[in-house]
Copies of this chain bind each other. A is one copy, B any other.
Amino acid sequence: MTIKCTECPLRDAECFIPFTDDELRFMLRFKVGELVIEPKTTILLEGSSAPKLYTVLDGMGLRYKILPDGRRQVLNFIYPGDFIGLQAGLLGEMKHSADATTKMTLCVFERRDLGSLFKSNADRAYDITWLAAVEEHFLGSSISTIGQRDARARMAWALVRIYYRSRSVGFADGQRVTFPFKQQDLADTLGLSLVHTNKTLAKFRAAGLVSWVDGVLTYTNLAELETIAMTEASEHLEPRPLM
C-alpha cells in the first residue's frame, strides 16, 4: 500500500521546492515505510528518544510542551510537509511532544540514517538545516507575539498565519480554510485562557472579521486582521524543501 515517493501527493503542491530526480532516488533509500495514525494519538512524546523521523504526508496536528503543573503550551500547528522528530534525531530526545489531531499519514525515516544522510548528500543536509532555521524563525515570531502583544493582536496574528499556512498547502478554498482544532488549542497557543480566547473570537466575529464553524474558518476581512496583527503580509509564502 505504500505510496512511492515518485507518486508522493505532496510533490506537486506549489509550496514545496520541486524534487529533482536525483533527490528522489536518494530519499527513496531513506524512506522505510508509511504510517497511518488515528486522530488524537501521540506521534512523539517529550523526553522520548524516538528512533524515527517523519514527514507529514496528510493530516494535521500539534507540537506542544506540558509544564510540570499540567499547563500546556502549543508551539506550532503541524501541516502536511512538516518534518517532525528532528530534535530527537539530533539531540537524542524530543524536547516537545507531537500529536495528530486528525487522521494522519506519515512518511517514515530511520533516525540512525541521519548521519549518513549528512555524509552522502550535502544538499539534503542543507535542506534539513534550512527547515530548522525556519522553525527557529517562527518560534521567534511567536515569542514576540506572546511576550509583547495583547489578546486581540495575538489572535489576529494567529489567524493570519493560519490563513497563509493553510493556503500554501491547499487547505484554503477562497476565504474558507480547514481548521480542525479546538478553541482550547488556540488558547494554549496564544497563552490565553479558554474563556478569553472565546470572547476575543466573539468580538472578531461580531466585527465581521472571521467566523469559525465546524472546523472551518471563514475570513471575511483578512486585511483588517493583518492590520490588527501588525504583520507584514510578505512573510508567509516562501517555498520550502520537502524531506
Q: Which residues of A contact B (CB under 8 A)?
A: 65, 67-69, 71-73, 75, 86-87, 90-91, 95-96, 115, 118-119, 122-123, 125-126, 128-130, 132-137, 139-144, 146-149, 188, 190-191, 230
Contact = CB atoms under 8 A, between A and B. Distances in A.
Nearest to A66: B144
Given A91-B130, A136-B87, A73 B125 contact: no
Nearest to A129: B129
Contacts of A190: 147
A136 B147 contact: no
Contact of A118 (B65, B68, B73, B122): B122
A237 to B, nearest CB: 13
**Copies of this chain:** 2
Residue with the greatest number of chain B CB neighbours at <10 A, chosen from A91, A126, A135: A126
26 contacts: A67-B148, A67-B149, A67-B230, A68-B230, A72-B148, A73-B144, A73-B147, A75-B140, A75-B144, A86-B133, A90-B130, A91-B134, A118-B125, A118-B126, A119-B122, A122-B122, A125-B126, A125-B129, A129-B129, A132-B136, A136-B139, A139-B139, A146-B146, A146-B147, A147-B190, A148-B191
Given A95-B137, A125-B126, A65 B132 contact: no
Contacts of A75: 140, 143-144
A229 to B, nearest CB: 10
Contact of A143 (B73, B128, B148): B73
A168 to B, nearest CB: 16
Nearest to A65: B144
A140 B139 contact: yes
A197 to B, nearest CB: 12
